[in-house]
Homo-oligomer: A and B are copies of this chain.
């Protein structure tokens, strides 16, 4: 029909022009549409959807982790750290274990400063217990847990790498702080920080625990923790300490292997000096290390044996931060 326009009578020249213009416009739109379809796709993960409504969790629970951070008397540090951790790659959700008994959670303030990259859940506690963070939280959807102390800052690079390492060693505690126990001829064990205690055996040093205050581990271990002998809970509650030692016992008992895999952090910082609260953390108590040796021996009694095993594997990221960090004289 379009090709017969020229045969219409003169009094419809206006209509003719209109039709012609319409055709041109339609053709141009079709061409534009075709060109747009041919444009390369911009991937979602390169372009944050800043202007869209907050979506429901789009990260697969298999390829992401939940941060569990317990907090007591250091809300300023908590909030500083939340600003950092809320944006770590592969983070699914944050669970804040609120040990400030009777104190209101900063929910209003948190919401007023939204939107936030991931959901943050404040779990109000009724008693200030160290082991509150080891509950099997119903909000926990991922296989992986990242547990951090509320005064510890680990770089995003370190966390992204350590998470990838955990994915290769999912039955281990993969983290940044190694410790060890020492056997003595009397059969009494001692808890080791490296500058304090030796001997090792053979070359170099060994570790037999990785502390959970800066580590990834499988959420299944939180389930397992609910099924431990009552004496374990009593010990942790008595000392307000040693929950991490207990977890290492649990894990190595379960696997028959060293509980932890140590990833050497590039950038890890303790922020406790930065707090306004003046509160400086349990490990400053005079009896802290002696308590931990005490816990090792108590746990050996409770579990009828010493399940911890030694490792000397130290993992770093190939070619990071220094591109040539693997070079040698070859």
Contacts and interface: CB of A to CB of B under 8 A. Distances in A.
Interface of A: 152, 157, 160-161, 164-165, 168, 176-178, 194-195, 200, 202-207, 262, 264-265, 268-270, 311-321, 323-330
14 contacts: A152-B330, A157-B203, A161-B203, A168-B313, A176-B330, A194-B319, A195-B324, A200-B319, A204-B319, A204-B320, A204-B323, A262-B326, A312-B319, A313-B315
Contacts of A270: 329-330
A202 B163 CA distance: 14
A325 B314 CA distance: 10
B313 A203 contact: no
A324 B194 contact: yes
Interface of A is mostly: loop
Nearest to A316: B314
A205 B319 contact: yes
A137 B285 CA distance: 62
B264 A326 contact: yes
Copies of the chain in the assembly: 2
Nearest to A317: B204
A84 B79 CA distance: 58
A262 to B, nearest CB: 7
A321 B206 CA distance: 13
Contacts of A200: 319
Given A178-B326, A194-B323, A315 B317 contact: no
A317 B314 contact: yes
A164 B202 CA distance: 12
A26 to B, nearest CB: 37
Contact of A262 (B165, B178, B264, B318): B318
Contact of A313 (B152, B165, B324): B165
Contact of A330 (B205, B268, B314, B329): B268
* Those 8 A-B pairs whose CB atoms lie nearest each other, nearest first: A205-B319, A204-B320, A312-B318, A204-B319, A314-B318, A314-B316, A204-B317, A203-B320
A202 B161 CA distance: 11
